Amino acid sequence: MGPMGTGAGARAGAGRWGRSALGRARGGGGGWGRRALGLAGRGAAGGRRGAPADSLAGVLEEVRVIRYVTPLREGGSLPALVEADNLGTYVMKFRGAGQGPKALVAEIIGGELGRRLGLRTPELVLGDLDPRIASAEPDPEIQDLLRASSGLNVGLDFLPGSVGFDPAGWDVDPDFASQVLWFDALIQNVDRTWRNPNLLVWHADIWLIDHGAALYFHHNWPTARATAPFDARDHVLRRAATRVAQAHEALAPKITEALLEEVTGMVPPQWLGDGRPEAYVAHLRERSAVVPEVIR
């Protein structure tokens, strides 16, 4: 059985990375061409979709950004669709955005950890941004953001045609819902609420996106507590998550020191600031043992 049943949720509106983004780009000057419609990128039927992600080998693929396509103004950090030299189309999160590089650290650790736990997360890449791309953008805010983000940033594989998850329109499998809640409690992800689910429906599966708000303890390491409570009252899947104990039995043994070292090792060291990879490893390892107890 898949993570959800059938319903009207997928038809209720455009997804954050799906039809709404495509519609805006089509309406703008010049259009996107075939790649923008997912016909030549990784989302195409003949592309790399479904193949094991490069990151499963312990290294994030590095690509060069060749075109800024359109901003995605739903996000406060002003992410954008970009095209890369590997023919991929990505949702790029910028290092120069207001949340700074720590949001990208959380994006990598959250996304790659979720993938290794069997949850669907878009493939991640490190995108090298040439500051000269900024000069082609008419919006001064975007110009400033691109110039402040020259060099490496994080790209998430674009899921063409995806739609936003609507909790009122889908019956979610309790095992899947419980695993997502367990995972969010582990990484202290406060940004998967019914107001902002950060879930996409793509080919009848649910994909987890946007983990930049997770690991919030790393903004103030002296106050970090592995046993800090996780307020799940507004979590979008809370009502369906009736098997958290079973999720804990299935997922907690996978959170090994070796796994956490692999995932944290994917983060560019210069983004860690006052944090150290071993501090993330110790925090998440300790927390993984007590996840059911910290969920409120």
pLDDT values of the chain reduced to their tens digit, one per residue, 296 residues: 456 543 333 323 334 455 444 433 333 322 222 222 222 233 322 233 333 345 655 789 999 999 999 999 766 689 999 999 999 999 999 999 998 999 999 999 999 999 999 999 999 999 999 999 999 999 999 999 999 999 999 999 999 999 999 988 888 999 999 999 999 999 999 999 999 999 999 999 999 999 999 999 999 999 999 999 999 999 999 999 999 999 999 999 999 999 999 999 999 999 999 999 999 999 999 999 999 999 99
What integer pLDDT is reported at residue 4 of this predicted model? 53
The 3-state DSSP class for residue 160 equals: coil
What integer pLDDT is reported at residue 272 of this predicted model? 96
Judged by phi (left if over 0) then psi (alpha if -120 to 50, else beta), residue 180 lies in alpha
The DSSP annotation for 59-96 comes to: --EEEEEEEEEEE-TTSTT--EEEEETTS-EEEEEPTT
What integer pLDDT is reported at residue 169 of this predicted model? 86
CA distance 234 to 218: 23
Q: Tell me if 230 sits within 8 A of 296, measured CB to CB.
A: yes
Bridge partners of residue 156, in order along the sequence:
91, 124
Phi and psi for 155 in degrees, rounded to 5?
-115, 135
Report which of 1, 3, 6, 2 is spatially closest to residue 169, judged by C-alpha positions: 6
